[in-house]
Structures are given as C-alpha cells and as structure tokens.
Structure 1
Amino acid sequence: MTLTKEQIEKIENTIKESLKNKFLSYNPETSNMPFHYRLLGRDRMALFSFIHSLNTTFGTSIFEPVAEALASLRFPVAKKQFVVGDTISEQAQNEIQHIINELTIGKNPDKLEEVERIRKVATFGNINKLKTVKVDLFVKSKDNTVYMFDLKTAKPNISNFKDFKRTLLEWVAIYLLKYPNASICSCIAIPYNPYEPKPYERWTLKGMLDLDNELKVAEEFWDFLGGEGSYLELLDCFERVGVELRPEIDKYFSKFK
C-alpha cells in the first residue's frame, strides 16, 4: 500500500501536533549543572534534557497518536487510550492464573487456545470490579475482529513479561465479558527494532508470549496498521517533519543560551 498525499498530510500533521504539544508541556530540569553548562552550553543541555524526556514519553506523546492516525486510514475503528472496561469475571481471573502457572513451568504459549479458554468462563462466576482499564491502541477491522495493542519501549524489561502476559489476557477477559462472541487478539507492539539491521531478539520474549500471535515489531506493527510499505513511508514522514521543524526547534532551544 502506498499512502496517498492526503494520508501522508494527515500523518505528518499528527507528528507535528504531537511534537509541538510536547514542547508546550516541557519544563527543563532546573538542577544546577555548572560544569556541564560551561562545557556544552545551556542550549545543548536543554536539548539533551528534552530528548531524554521525549524518549520516556515517546509512546504516549508520539507513537500512540501516529498509530491511531495511520490505523484510521485502513480500519473502521482506531482509538488510542481506549477504555476496555472495569469488570472481569472471577472464573476468568482464575483461568488466567492457571495459564500463567502453566507457562511458568514450561508449557508453550498458544494465544488462540488461551483466548478460547478464557471465553468459556468469561461470563461465569462473580463479577469483580477493577480500576478502569485502558489499552494503548484499539483497532477493529471490517470483519469486526478486535485488536488491542500494548505499546512498549524498544527494549522492554524481560523480568516484567509475566506481567505483560497477564495484562494481555486480562484485556481479553474484560472485553469478552461484554462481548462473549468477539473475535479478539491482544498484542505487544514494539515500534522499532533497536538491533537493526540484525533481527529483533525475539528469543528473549519466548516462554510467556506466543511470538506469532502476541508480538509485532517495527514493520510488522506499522504495516499491519497501514498496509505493506507503511513503515518505510512513516520514516519518511518523520524525516520531512524534522527538516520542516528544525528552524522552529533551533529557535526554541536558543533561548536557553
């Protein structure tokens, strides 16, 4: 798929708006660093601080709105920070714990089987109240298949993958409580491959995640949302926006000299 001129404009406007909103909300660190200031300059230190701040919030401030904009060009429904719900059945919670226990002792993950196991008990037993649960990106296809994405940093902490898996399964259970016949998939999305040109080290995620059905990395994720070739076109969009906004960015940080 090649993005149209109008689609590219929509995505680039989303990138610009997201970056400008980040500038508006950004407050440089006020800690005194006299040696750094004299060696590198306050403007460079302010830029460094901004990049660090941007890195920690890139998912919510940049990737989520861009993913929403890209997916909306291809899917009937695409929403970031989508509220899945705040209730889950007790039997579904128990089944999720059984699944986690089995994976912990070596059972191979099978997301399709896990979803069906949860579906069978999703509406049975006591209904427990939860804190309102949101997904980073919610997408529904033309055939009404639901996809829920948890956007992670490029190098997520491996020690947390049991928690990530539980989150993906709980999203399924919460949604199936309301829509028990839904066709549904919940996934981890990693926006880019930090090891490129080498393959992403998927083996680090093996054991808890069904790598074929619960993980999309770089091209897999963006091309799923926008169609084949979207990842490369998206990189071009970011580059063009960067070139266009460079004078504005330089002007912003020049005030810190």
Structure 2
Amino acid sequence: MDNVKKEKIAIEVIRTLAGRFDSFPENSDSNRNAPFHKAFLNAFKDNFKELEKGTPYFISLSSWLHGLNTTLGQSFFEKVAHILSDGEKRSFTGDDRLPISKYQTETISDIITDLKNKEKTPSLVDENDLIFQKYQNSDGKPVDFTADVFYQIDNKVVCIELKSVKPNAGEIRGEKRKILEGKASLCKLYKDKDIKFYFGFPFDPTGESDYDYDVQRFLNHVIDGNKYLDREEVLLGPALWDYLSGEENTMQELISIINDIAKPDFKKKLRKLNEDVLYLNFENDEYDRLLKQWHLYREAQFRNEKNVKKVQSSTNTKIRKKFNQQRFKTGSTNYGEYNESRIHELLDFID
C-alpha cells in the first residue's frame, strides 16, 4: 500500500476516533433511569459483575459500542473501501434508474422464489446465465439501487454491497434481489463489460483469529446465508480488502494503521498536532515522530524550517492565514477532521 493511501486511511481513523472519544461514557448520568434495560439485565448480572460501575454504566457503554458499530459500518469501512479501490459510491436512483426487461424481472422473481423454497441452491454461474440473456429490451419496470463501492477497470464493472457481519433476518433475501436486479440493469448499460457484483463483509466473526476466515463457515452462521448466497459472490474479511486493493495482506496493514493511532493517549496527541509552539520547534523531533507514527506524510513533507520561513515571510496574506489555521478541526460538528485545504495550498505554494 502506498503512502498516499495510508495517509488517507489514517485520516479516516483519526476522524473516527475523535468522534467516538468525545462520546465515550465517563459516568452513568445519561442512563440513570432505564428501567426496562435494568430489569432485563438483572438476568446477566453474573456475566458482567466485573464491571464495577454497575448496570447504568453498562447500558451507557453498550450504547457507545452500538454507536461505534454504526460508525464503522456506515462510514469508515465504506470510505476505506473507496480509498483502496479508487472507487466510489454510485446511485442509480430517481431519474438515473436503469431499465431491465420483463424477462429479467420475471427471471429474478423466479430465482428468489426457488431459493426461498429451497427448490434450488444458489449458483452464481447459473443465475448470471439466466439474467444476462435477452437483455436488449427495456420493457420492464426500471430498478433503482445504490452500490456501496463502484468502479470500472478495463473490460470489467465491479460493484460491492458492504454488509454487517450479522445481517438481520430477511435482509439477505432483499439484498440478493437488489444485486440480481443491479446486475441485470448494468449488463444493458455496459454491454461490452463483465459485470461483477459482490457481497462484502469486513471480517469473519466466526474466525479463530483476526485474519482467519472461512466463507462456508461464515454462511452457516448467517441467517439464510446458505439459502441465498453462492460462496463465489461473497468477499469476506482479508479476501475483501485484498480484492479492493489488488494487493495481499491489506487487512493486516489496515489493522496496523489503526493500532499506530488508536492508543490511550490519542486525544493528547491530537491536541499536540494543533500546538503551534511544538509545530514551530524544529530542535525537538517530537512533532516529526508523531507525524510519522500517524502516517501524516504530506504534513511531514511540508514541515521544515525552510518551508515555514518561506510562508511566514511571504507577502501573500492568504497563504499566511492558511498556514495559521489548525491542522485538525476542533468544532463540535467536525472535531478531528483533517484540514485538507490547508495542506493542499501550502504544498502548492512551496512547489
């Protein structure tokens, strides 16, 4: 993985951590009265008796963990996937809906019904053969869908639907229909390209270690997994991240970047990055070491005495103001967000 992508991922890690640190429960004040939770959790007192702060704090912590899961699932994983693949989120909705033929619509309904009734087992090859036939007509109802990850390369179009590793009951069937309809519509839009549409799961919760994964074991674990999904349309854990990057051991690199940043002194270090006195002290290498540890390569590229003096002595008022801006934003709505425009303009100025 090159340094450009490492830095982009590191910036997402910092932004994610900053948001979650601010909301971490220090006490149980926000959950002093949660009678239904408290009543149910009485049954599990022995299981979490080591939590010295008691049930209200446990409820607050559970809520925080739920928020972290949501942030990772709805934001972090998707943004990292775009960085690794040079892809994007692509919506085919509203006026951009894509048409499919009546034949394709009926065929997809038949596939879903057969899978639901266990009259057939999922087969990526057979299903593609069916829905990619007779696609020239547009006499069916237009379909709308959004691909979490979308990119084109050479003669191939790739879409990936990023999913929670614990999808709800019934969710897999709906997503299977969506993907079949998506493939059917895309094969008309991109007639000369190979259409790939995968289910992507960021890790394998059934694995015995961080990077252990087994698609069949995972599908056995997922509600309706074996009923609707062919192993060949599933990218799981390390296989997903390697596919996105086109390189091996990508998940290991992702975890390594997170581990470099996600330490108990995270907030202290984040504040240090905005300290002008430390930033301008070139005799102390503490700032340089922090930039290196957090993979902030562009900041390290700019920050030397020569470049700083060039900016500070410039008659360009705009660039001097830009230089004096915070490296990381500290507002209530953007805390931990990297100041991209600042570093971009500074590097352009010294180039």
**Which TM-score band (shorter chain)?**
0.7 to 0.9
8 Å CA contact 1:59, 1:152 repeated in 2: yes
Higher mean displacement: 219-228 or 43-52:
43-52
Q: 1:163 aligns with which of 167, 174, 188?
A: 174
Q: Which aligned runs of 4 or more in structure 1 are off by greater than 6 angstroms?
A: 21-24, 26-30, 41-45, 249-252
* In structure 2, C-alpha distance between the alignment counterparts of 1:157 and 1:241, rounded to whole Å: 32
Give the residue type in structure 2 aligned to 1:91. Y
Query: Per-residue displacement from partner, 1:189-227 (whole Å, max 9, x unpaired)?
Result: 110111221744223422311112x10110010011111
| SS of structure 2 residue aligned to 1:189 | strand
| SS of structure 2 residue aligned to 1:136 | strand
Partner in structure 1 of residue 88 of structure 2: 79
| SS of structure 1 residue aligned to 2:227 | coil
Q: How far does residue 10 in structure 1 lie from its aligned partner after superposition?
A: 2.2
Partner in structure 2 of residue 119 of structure 1: 132
* In structure 1, C-alpha distance between the alignment counterparts of 2:29 and 2:77, rounded to whole Å: 28
* In structure 2, C-alpha distance between the alignment counterparts of 1:244 and 1:86, rounded to whole Å: 47
Partner in structure 1 of residue 67 of structure 2: 53
Tell whether 2:228 aligns with 1:208: yes
Structure 1's unaligned 5+ residue stretches are 73-77, 253-257
Task: Summarize the Cα distance change of 1:161–1:42 in structure 2 as closer, same or farther, 3 Å threshold.
Answer: closer
Task: Summarize the Cα distance change of 1:103–1:173 in structure 2 as closer, same or farther, 3 Å threshold.
Answer: same
Q: Identity of aligned pairs, percent?
A: 25
Query: Cα RMSD (Å) of the superposition?
Result: 3.5
Q: How far does residue 43 in structure 1 lie from its aligned partner after superposition?
A: 8.9
Task: Summarize the Cα distance change of 1:173–1:41 in structure 2 as closer, same or farther, 3 Å threshold.
Answer: same
Give the residue type in structure 1 aligned to 2:83. A
Higher radius of gyration, 1 or 2: 2
Tell whether 2:151 aligns with 1:139: yes
Q: How far does residue 42 in structure 1 lie from its aligned partner after superposition?
A: 9.2
Q: 1:101 aligns with which of 113, 135, 138?
A: 113
Query: Per-residue displacement from partner, 1:130-158 (whole Å, max 9, x unpaired)?
Result: 4x4211111323x2311211111112235
8 Å CA contact 1:88, 1:122 repeated in 2: no
Paired residues for 1:1-257 under 5 Å: 3-20=1-18, 32-33=31-32, 39=53, 48-72=62-86, 78-80=87-89, 82-84=90-92, 85-89=96-100, 90-104=102-116, 105-130=118-143, 132-141=144-153, 143-197=154-208, 199=214, 200-204=217-221, 205-212=225-232, 214-226=233-245, 227-243=247-263, 246-247=266-267
Q: Compute the TM-score of the two structures, normalised by the length of structure 2.
A: 0.58
Which protein has greater RCO, CA pairs closer than 8 Å, 6+ apart?
A: 1
Which structure carries more strand by proportion?
Answer: 1
Aligned pair count reads 239
8 Å CA contact 2:99, 2:185 repeated in 1: yes
Partner in structure 2 of residue 75 of structure 1: none
| SS of structure 1 residue aligned to 2:120 | coil
* In structure 2, C-alpha distance between the alignment counterparts of 1:168 and 1:45, rounded to whole Å: 37
8 Å CA contact 1:64, 1:136 repeated in 2: yes
* In structure 2, C-alpha distance between the alignment counterparts of 1:112 and 1:56, rounded to whole Å: 34
8 Å CA contact 1:14, 1:69 repeated in 2: no
Q: How far does residue 22 in structure 1 lie from its aligned partner after superposition?
A: 6.9
Q: How far does residue 49 in structure 1 lie from its aligned partner after superposition?
A: 3.1
* In structure 2, C-alpha distance between the alignment counterparts of 1:47 and 1:114, rounded to whole Å: 44
| SS of structure 2 residue aligned to 1:96 | helix
* In structure 2, C-alpha distance between the alignment counterparts of 1:230 and 1:195, rounded to whole Å: 20
Give the residue type in structure 1 aligned to 2:171. N
8 Å CA contact 2:165, 2:203 repeated in 1: yes
8 Å CA contact 1:154, 1:194 repeated in 2: yes
* In structure 1, C-alpha distance between the alignment counterparts of 2:180 and 2:124, rounded to whole Å: 9
8 Å CA contact 2:199, 2:234 repeated in 1: yes
Task: Summarize the Cα distance change of 1:88–1:39 in structure 2 as closer, same or farther, 3 Å threshold.
Answer: same
